[in-house]
């Protein structure tokens, strides 16, 4: 593996314009002001990726795709960091030159800024991937399913979203019912894949503290309870089902079921620690097995408890490292205790300049 923190590292960036409907590159590029553009990634954010791109006079009238190439020690890697809408811009003119600053958003923005113009309804037995595709591609988006997804999964109840419902919210709700995860890939495709709990993922990168260290000295850490919950109740209920095993849409699940998940006692915001429950009730749209229902309650609790430790570090850009990845963070030189933890990359702020330096939030998962 390349030592991405070694001296002599060279980073370069190329911004290519992209057709917003085909996602194909047009052959045009834009010039940026070195070191002034930033991209921000938030695993739990609605858009996942946003950014501020500063160009040297160039306006961005299409999508923009950001390429990053890094070379060090004879190794070279090129990656696509993302494809973005340029939603708005401001310009500064000085000494006969113009600098433009563009606010950019991933292609999930297309759906998070849109709403249904009429009621959206689908009957029980509807193919769910097809339903998601209907929503995503109605206004020019593109959907890609990830390996391992059950593309034949059907709704077990009638589905209805009233006029004015946000399309992004509807997409996330449907995926949540199925134990799926909504995302966006670097080329602008909306993705749907199986949700894997962070602690069950393979380690994508190890932040070491020896000769191959890629992070700067020091870290911040926090434990936040803002709007935290410590219990999630999940349930579903319906009035009828197809219980004939001889038919294609046979439904083995019960008419109703419920379960709940609690924070473990060791958590500083657990019931045992604070003496009260702060409960969220999650109504699941589709019937499912009890294990799947419990997994949905646990996922909501994991993502919304707020009561977790996180570390904020600065490091050189690591090609291929993305929010959501599981990493090992080893630090035996800062703080009063040695650190050797598995953590999830929750947020990353990346500067498109020398070293592709990142300010990253690593969240505990164990």
Mean pLDDT throughout 277-301? 90
Residue 223 has pLDDT above 70, yes or no: no
First to last CA, the chain: 26
Q: Clarify whether residues 125 and 161 are in a common domain.
A: yes
Per residue in 32-46, pLDDT tens? Answer: 988 999 999 999 999
Q: How far apart, in whole angstroms, are the C-alpha atoms of residue 20 and residue 27?
A: 14
Nearest to 21 by CA among 188, 161, 261: 188
Q: Dihedral of the CA atoms 292, 294, 297, 303 (nearest 10)?
A: -80
For 267, the domain range is 231-304
- Whether residue 204 is contained in a domain is answered as no
Q: What is the pLDDT of residues 106-154, one digit of tens each?
A: 999 999 999 999 999 999 889 999 999 999 999 899 999 999 999 999 9
23 and 158 belong to one structural domain: no
Question: Does residue 200 lie within any of the structural domains?
Answer: no
Residue 316: inside a domain, yes or no?
A: yes
- Is pLDDT at 336 greater than 70 in this prediction? yes
Query: Could you report the per-residue pLDDT of 338-364, keeping only the tens digit for each?
Result: 999 999 999 999 999 999 999 999 998
Tell me how crowded residue 151 is: count the other CB atoms within 10 A of its CB: 10
Q: Is residue 237 part of a domain?
A: yes
Q: What is the pLDDT of residue 95?
A: 67
Residues 190 and 337 placed together within one structural domain of the fold: no
Q: Would you state the pLDDT for residue 19?
A: 96
The reply to whether 203 falls in a domain is no
Over residues 47-105, the pLDDT tens digits come to: 999 999 999 867 888 999 999 999 998 899 999 999 999 987 776 776 667 788 999 99
User: What integer pLDDT is reported at residue 145 of this predicted model?
Assistant: 97
Do 162 and 265 belong to one domain?
no
CATH number of the domain within which 175 lies: 3.55.50.10
Q: Is residue 201 part of a domain?
A: no
pLDDT of residue 256: 92
Residues 21 and 153 in one domain: no
Q: What is the structure's pLDDT at 309?
A: 79
Residues 339 and 249 in one domain: no
Q: Tell me: do 36 and 123 sit in the same domain.
A: no
Residues 250 and 345 in one domain: no
* CA within 13 Å, CB half, 275: 0
Please report whether residue 98 resides in a domain.
Answer: yes
224-239 mean pLDDT:
83
Say if residue 24's pLDDT is above 90.
yes
**Position 124 in a domain:** yes
Note whether 1 and 100 are same-domain residues: yes
**Is the confidence at residue 225, as pLDDT, over 70?**
no
Q: Which of 253, 276, 304 is the last residue of a domain?
A: 304
State the total domains in the chain.
3
In the 8-state DSSP scheme, what is residue 73? T
pLDDT confidence of residue 86: 92
C-alpha distances out from residue 39 to 36, 48, 127, 311, Å: 10, 11, 36, 20
Show which of 304, 321, 346 is a domain's final residue: 304
Statement to judge: residues 4 and 50 lie in one domain? yes
Domain limit, last residue, from 304, 326, 350 = 304
Same domain, 321 and 342: yes
| pLDDT reading at 245 higher than 80 | no
């Amino acid at each position: 593996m390349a030592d991405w923190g070694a001296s002599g590292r060279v980073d370069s960036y190329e911004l290519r314009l992209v057709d917003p409907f085909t996602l194909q590159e047009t052959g045009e590029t834009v010039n940026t002001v070195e070191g002034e553009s930033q991209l921000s990634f938030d695993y739990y954010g609605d858009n996942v990726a946003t950014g501020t791109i500063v160009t040297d006079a160039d306006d961005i009238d299409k999508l923009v795709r950001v390429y990053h190439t890094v070379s060090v020690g004879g190794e070279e890697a090129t990656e696509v960091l993302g494809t973005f809408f340029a939603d708005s811009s401001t310009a500064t003119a000085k000494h006969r030159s113009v600098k433009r600053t563009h606010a950019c958003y991933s292609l999930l923005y297309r759906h998070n800024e849109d709403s249904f113009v009429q009621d959206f309804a689908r009957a029980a037995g509807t193919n769910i991937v097809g339903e998601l595709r209907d929503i995503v591609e109605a206004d020019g988006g593109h959907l890609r399913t990830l390996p391992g997804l059950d593309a034949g999964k059907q709704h077990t109840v009638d589905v209805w979203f009233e006029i004015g419902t946000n399309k992004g919210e509807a997409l996330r709700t449907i995926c949540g019912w199925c134990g799926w995860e909504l995302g966006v890939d670097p080329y602008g495709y909306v993705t749907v894949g199986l949700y894997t709990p962070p602690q069950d993922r393979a380690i994508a990168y190890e932040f070491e503290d020896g000769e191959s260290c890629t992070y700067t000295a020091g870290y911040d850490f926090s434990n936040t309870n803002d709007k935290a919950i410590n219990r999630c109740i999940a349930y579903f209920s319906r009035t009828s089902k197809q219980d004939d095993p001889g038919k294609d849409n046979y439904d083995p699940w019960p008419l109703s079921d419920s379960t709940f998940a609690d924070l473990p006692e060791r958590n500083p915001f657990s019931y045992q620690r604070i003496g009260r429950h702060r409960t969220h009730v999650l109504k699941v749209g589709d019937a499912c097995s009890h294990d799947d229902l419990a997994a949905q309650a646990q996922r909501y609790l994991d993502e919304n408890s707020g009561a977790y430790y996180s570390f904020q570090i600065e490091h050189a850009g690591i090609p291929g490292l993305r929010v959501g990845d599981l990493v090992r963070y080893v630090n035996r030189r800062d703080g009063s205790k040695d650190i050797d933890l598995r953590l999830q990359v929750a947020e990353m702020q990346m500067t498109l300049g020398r070293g592709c330096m990142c300010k990253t939030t690593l969240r505990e998962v164990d």
